[in-house]
Amino acid sequence: MYQTNSIFPSIIFVILILLPIAISQERRRPVVPALLVFGDSIVDPGNNNMLITPARANFPPYGRDFQGHEPTGRFSNGRIPTDIIVSLLRIKDLLPPYRAPDLEDHDLLTGVSFASAGSGFDNLTATVPKVFSLWDQLEMYKEYKRELIAIVGEAAAAAIIRESPHAIFSGNNDILTTYFFTTIRQRTFDLPSYINYLVNAATNFVKELYELGARRIVVAGVPPLGCVPASRTVGGGENRDCVETYNQAATLFNLELSRNLEQLDVDLSGTRIVYLNIYDTVMDLIQHGEDYGFEETTRGCCGTGEFEASIFCNEFSPFTCPETETHKYLFWDGFHPTERAFRIIITALQSQFMRLVIE
């Protein structure tokens, strides 16, 4: 009897010590094994760094609010959406580029980004800046799968692919650059036909991922493209208003894309496909920036903020806002939001994204 009483308080003590640790470990446990990403500069963490292309961001002032103030190739002052998402999923703090020279096995096991700034669903979009097209990224993905099999074996690799979200962020450059800014595709397509062409390409890309084993797929729509600083400068007139033609194109693309994805979700057995509504969230930030603490929603922080991006947003760019004022800006450069804006956007879309991973 004496021994039982003496052991019992000891057990209670051990439980009290270990329970918070167990709870803490459960909270840190990843929701899914990995995150795998395809797309353009919104989610490119540095895959273009070694390419001879203007579509790079591995120089100051990019990354000035990143850890170590390092310009990694991310098109922002700090983290980009996929860094925030991979952290929310409790996988790791940052999502590395697949082409990083120092990539290790654990990086591959927990996910990478194949995204390339300047790319799109249209192969022509990637050809002009000489970057990796979506289909090039798909080839990288096939190579990644082979590496995964070499690390953990075929069965475990298939499980990682099956259970991990595959995220696609694309279409921005196709609509803005290839169709409107350069007018290259206007020679062969009217706008509805080109939108149909892009949506078909997106649909085929999702089908390709399915054939390669992906079962959790999220595809982001495009934001109000007519309201990014560069669009306002190019087509917004003296007052730099939002360009409604660009926004209408974005809306049409999003509508057709969401319809196709909804049908794919039915047609592709055992697959969960989610459309991410970026447009409404970003438009709310633009129209009601003051509600979120933004003082400037029509210009970027870098340079004049009216058009500069990539190589034109550099450490010699005049008029770049002080580091202490970056938080006031919705946009970092002529096209890309600041880290603070990205965090607000992803937080607002979190419930949509989590539909992909909740059993």
pLDDT in tens, 75-115: 999 999 999 999 999 999 999 999 999 999 999 999 999 99
- pLDDT of 324 reads 95
Q: What is the mean pLDDT of residues 116-141?
A: 97
Q: Is residue 281 in a domain?
A: yes
What the block records as the tokens of 214 is: 């992906």
Task: Name the pLDDT band for 15 (thresholds 50, 70, 90).
Answer: very low
For the stretch 324-344, pLDDT in tens is 999 999 999 999 999 999 999
- In this structure, is residue 123 part of a structural domain? yes
pLDDT in tens, 175-188: 999 999 999 999 99
**CATH number of the domain encompassing residue 212:** 3.40.50.1110
What is the C-alpha separation between 82 and 168, in angstroms, rounded?
Answer: 10
Split at pLDDT 50, 70, 90, the class of 359 is low
- For the cut 70, the answer to whether the pLDDT of residue 323 exceeds it is yes
Q: Does residue 11 form part of some domain? A: no
Average pLDDT over residues 245-259: 98
168 found inside a domain: yes
Residues 20-36 pLDDT 10s: 434 334 445 778 999 99
pLDDT above 90 (res 242): yes
* Contact indicator for 215, 271 with CB cutoff of 8 Å: yes
Residue 284 lies in a domain: yes
Domain that holds residue 258: 35-354
**187 within a domain of the structure (yes/no):** yes
Q: Which residues are catalytic?
A: 41, 333, 336
Share the mean pLDDT of the chain. Answer: 92
Picking from 101, 102, 130, 106, the residue whose alpha carbon sits closest to that of residue 116 is: 130
Instruction: Decide if 127 is inside a domain.
Output: yes
Number of structural domains (the chain) is 1
313 close to 333: Cβ distance less than 8 angstroms:
yes
Backbone dihedral angles phi then psi of residue 274, each to the nearest 5 degrees: -125, 135
| Residue 8 counted as domain residue | no
